[in-house]
Amino acid sequence: MSASSYKRATKKYAARIDHIDGDVSSGFVLVPVGTDFLTTVMQAENFLHFEMENGEETYVSMQSVKRITEMVEQNARQREEENQARRQAEEKAKAKARKEEEEKRKKADADANTGKKKSLFTRKEEYDALDAMGLGDNPTYDEIQATYRRLVKLYHPDRLRGLGVSDNKIAYAAERLAEINNAYRILAKITKAA
C-alpha cells in the first residue's frame, strides 16, 4: 500500500477552537485510535489535525490557538450512537450465526437420516481441526474455505492492531490464527482429494 493511499484510523471529537485573532473554528479534532482527545491536543506541538464542519480536513497551527474546547455532550451522544450501532450489528451477526448453525444442524440431521453422506474424516486430528474451525461433521471444500476466510479476517493480528486492541488480545488472536491455519491445512487437503 502506498503512503498516499494509507489513511490512519481516527476517531472524531467535536471541538471549538478559539484563535488568537478572534476567529472561531467549529468541527472535529481527529484523534488516532487508541489515544484520547486530551493526549492528542497536548502532544500537538506545531499543528493539530482538524476537520471543519463542512468535511474539509486541515491542520491548525497551535501558535494561532488561544483555546480548544471539547464539546463533551455532543461527543458523548456520538459515542453512544456508535456503541448502539455496534451492538445492533453484533446482535444481527449473532442472529445470522444462529440461523446458519440451525440450517447446518437440520442438514446434518437430514443427511444422517437418509444415510446419504459418509464422513471423509476418520482421525482424531481431523475432528480436532473441525472443532477448531467450528465446522460440522461433513463440510464441503467451499464451506471450509469460506469459514477459513471469515476466521482469518476475525483473528488477524494486523487488523486487530489497527483497531487498537491490547497486546494480550493480539497475542491470543495470533495463537488462534495459527490453530486455524493448521486446521485449514488438514481439512483442505482431505476435501480436495475427495
Whether 60 and 126 map to the same domain: the answer is no
Whether 187 and 106 map to the same domain: the answer is yes
Distance CA 55, CA 180 (A): 42
pLDDT of residue 146: 92
Residue 81 forms part of a structural domain:
no
Among candidate residues 57, 74, 91, the one where a domain is terminated: 74
The residue type of 52 is M
Q: Is the pTM of this model over 0.85?
A: no
Domain count, the chain: 2
CATH of the domain at 161: 1.10.287.110
Distance CA 91, CA 87 (A): 6
Residue 61 forms part of a structural domain:
yes
Residue 168 forms part of a structural domain:
yes
Whether 138 and 67 map to the same domain: the answer is no
Residue 82 forms part of a structural domain:
no
Q: How big is the CA angle at 130 (ends 137 and 163), to the nearest 5 degrees?
A: 135
pLDDT of residue 92: 92
H-only helix segments in the chain: 37-43, 72-114, 124-133, 141-155, 157-162, 167-193
Residue 87 forms part of a structural domain:
no
Residue 17 forms part of a structural domain:
yes
Indicate the Cα dihedral angle 56, 89, 6, 62, nearest 10°. Answer: 40
Whether 108 and 63 map to the same domain: the answer is no
pLDDT in tens, the chain (194 residues): 444 444 567 788 888 889 889 888 888 888 888 888 888 888 888 888 888 888 888 888 888 888 888 888 887 888 888 889 889 999 999 999 999 998 888 887 776 666 545 566 667 788 888 888 888 878 888 888 999 999 999 888 888 888 888 889 889 989 999 999 998 988 888 777 66
pLDDT of residue 159: 85
Residue 4 forms part of a structural domain:
no
Whether 112 and 65 map to the same domain: the answer is no
Whether 110 and 148 map to the same domain: the answer is yes
Range of the domain at 58: 10-74
Cβ contact 181:174 at 8 Å: no
pLDDT of residue 178: 92
